Chain A
Amino acid sequence: EIVLTQSPGTLSLSPGERATLSCRASQSVTSSYLAWYQQKPGQAPRLLIYGASARATGIPDRFSGSGSGTDFTLTISRLESEDFAVYYCQQYGGSLTWTFGQGTKVEIK
C-alpha cells in the first residue's frame, strides 16, 4: 500500500502570502491518480485538484497542483481569508482503493 506523507504539518502564513504544500508518496504514483482536497471545520472536504494539476469546477486559479512520481505540490499563490483550512492529498491505488495523506493545516500567522 502506498503511504502519502504531507509536509509541513502546519503552515503559518499571512493573507496575501504564497503557500506551498508537499505530498510525498512511498512509491511512484500515476499523476492522473493524485488529488487534493480542502476541508474547513465542520464541513465535508471539497475537491480542489485532480489528475495532479487539473482544477475542479469552480476552483479559483490561485490554486495550482504540480508534480509527478513520488513528489507532488499544491500551491496557493496568494492566500485569501477563506483559504485557511486543512488540505489533504489523496491517491488512487488501483483496484478500487484510495488512500489519503494525514493533512496540512494552513493557519493565519
Chain B
Amino acid sequence: QVQLVQSGAEVKKPGASVKVSCKASGYGFTSYGISWVRQAPGQGLEWMGWISPYNGNTKYAENLQGRVTMTTATSTSTVYMELRSLRYDDTAVYFCARAVIPVATKPAFDIWGQGTMVTVSS
C-alpha cells in the first residue's frame, strides 16, 4: 500500500546534526514531492521545506535556511532531512508528507509518515 516510513527516534546534543529518512513505497516516487513538517511538544504544525524527487529542487522555510538540507535517493525511494546546529527548541516530532507534482494541481499533503521524535538534550 501507499506509505511513507520514517527512521527511528534520535537523541542529540546541542550543536550536533541529525538526519532523518523517509522511505516511500506503493506509488511513483518521482510523481510526488515530499515536505517536512515538525511539531514541538504540545504545539502546532510547522512547515519546514519541500523537495521534488523528480528534479531535486528544494525550498526551505526562511527560519531554517542555512541549517536544513533535504536530499533524495531515487534508487531507494528515500528522502532525507538533515538539520544542523541543533538547539533545544528543535526538539520535536518530524513528519514527512507527500503532495502531487505539479503542486498547484492539489497542494495538500495526502500521505504522512509516522513521525520521528528528535530530542535535543545535553
Residues of A within 8 A of B (CB): 32-33, 35, 37, 39, 44-47, 50-51, 56-57, 88, 90, 92, 94-103
Contacts and interface: CB of A to CB of B under 8 A. Distances in A.
A44 B36 CA distance: 12
A97 B109 CA distance: 12
B59 A90 contact: no
A51 to B, nearest CB: 7
A51 B47 CA distance: 19
A44 B50 contact: no
A34 to B, nearest CB: 9
Given A45-B45, A45-B95, A88-B44, A98 B107 contact: yes
What are the 9 tightest A-B residue pairs by CB atom distance, in nearest-first order? A92-B107, A50-B108, A44-B112, A96-B59, A35-B108, A100-B45, A98-B47, A96-B50, A103-B44
Interface string B96-122: 010000011011111011110000000
B47 A97 contact: yes
B72 interface: no
B9 interface: no
A48 B103 CA distance: 18
Contacts of B115: 44
A51 B106 contact: yes
B82 interface: no
Interface of B: 33, 35, 37, 44-47, 50, 57, 59, 61, 95, 97, 103-104, 106-110, 112-115
A98 to B, nearest CB: 4
Contact of B112 (A35, A45, A88, A103): A45
Contacts of B114: 44
Given A96-B59, A99-B47, A44 B113 contact: yes
Nearest to A34: B108
A47 B44 contact: no
Contacts of A94: 104
Nearest to B51: A96
Nearest to B52: A96
